[in-house]
Amino acid sequence: MGLVLIQLAGIAGLIVLAVVVLFAVFILASAIRILKEYERGVIFRLGRVREEAKGPGLILLIPVVDRMVRVSLRTVSMPVPPQEVITRDNVPAKVDAVIYFRVLDPNKSVLAVENYSFATSQISQTTLRSVLGQKDLDDLLSNREAINQELQAIIDEHTEPWGIKVSVVEVKDVEIPKTMQRAMARQAESERERRAKVINAEGEYQASERLKQAAERLESPTALQLRLFQTLAEISSEQSSTIIVPVPLELFRPFMERGDGYRRSVKPSQAQRGVQAAEELSKT
């Protein structure tokens, strides 16, 4: 009987020892925390937050008295779900975006808002709808950089009291109805045709100016004659049997003027003597 009691006492002692060891392990596990380089710990002691967030490294807590909340300081990339918006020129569009933010103040991110990720997502959606609703479709498609900066400034202003810094907001995709896409395609085609006509007209205008300048330079008969010879040289290189070349009278004007001058230089008396000499020769 005594032996049995001794054995029972031994078993009870082992059980008590095991319970004590488990309790000690539990106490140590609740008292020791290890934070990574990008993590900080917001410690509550009896419900009151400590002055500064702890970490990184080994953190010792008072069991049962202290409670720690982990906060990551890494930049978070969060997609904004597609939002149905109506632009200022009454065009329906579906727009989605992506937002990049990180925690600057761990204490504020825990104390000022219940879930900073969810709150940032909600404020991003509402801001996206309100800002894009004030823009025209052309601005939404062409001024993407200015819209991104405006969104980033507004969202960052709302999240600053939460200890959140919004660094980048990017509008990813703008989806418009098929009918509007076809209308925009026709508009773009008309714009390209208009530019082509303007460029063609400008080319013709410049060519006419050059031709005018060339005509002014070719007023000289010598220049006209040289140009005619050049044209004949170009035509002769082609294989043709008959070439009809209009010769302008300007080419013969120097010769005509020379002939008129010669006639004016001859005196009437000399001309009469020449005629009489010719008659006498005819009689003999």
Are residues 46 and 102 located together in one domain of the fold?
no
For residue 86, the enclosing domain spans 76-180
pLDDT tens, per residue, the chain with 284 residues: 555 556 666 677 778 778 878 877 777 777 888 899 999 999 999 889 987 888 888 888 888 888 899 999 999 999 999 998 888 888 888 999 999 999 999 999 999 999 999 999 999 999 999 999 898 888 888 888 999 999 999 999 999 999 999 999 999 888 888 877 677 777 777 878 888 888 888 888 887 777 777 766 656 666 666 666 677 666 666 665 566 666 656 556 665 665 555 455 544 555 455 545 545 544 54
Closest CA to 154 of 174, 169, 141, 144: 169
Across 200-221, b (16+ Cβ under 10 Å) vs e yields eeeeeeeeeeeeeeeeeeeeeb
* 39 assigned to some structural domain: yes
Name residue 86's beta-bridge partners: 92
Please report whether residue 107 resides in a domain.
yes
**Whether residues 44 and 98 fall in one domain:** no
Query: Strand 92-103 and strand 164-175: pairing?
Result: antiparallel
Mark whether 86 and 163 lie in a shared domain.
yes
> Domain for residue 83, yes or no?
yes
Residue 23's identity, in one-letter code, is: F
* pTM for the model: 0.62
Q: How far is 168 from 120, CA to CA, in rounded Å?
A: 13
Total domains present in the chain = 2
* 100 and 153 fall within a common domain: yes
- Residue 246 DSSP label: P
C-alpha to C-alpha distances, 116 to 67, 113, 119, 176, nearest whole angstrom: 19, 6, 5, 32
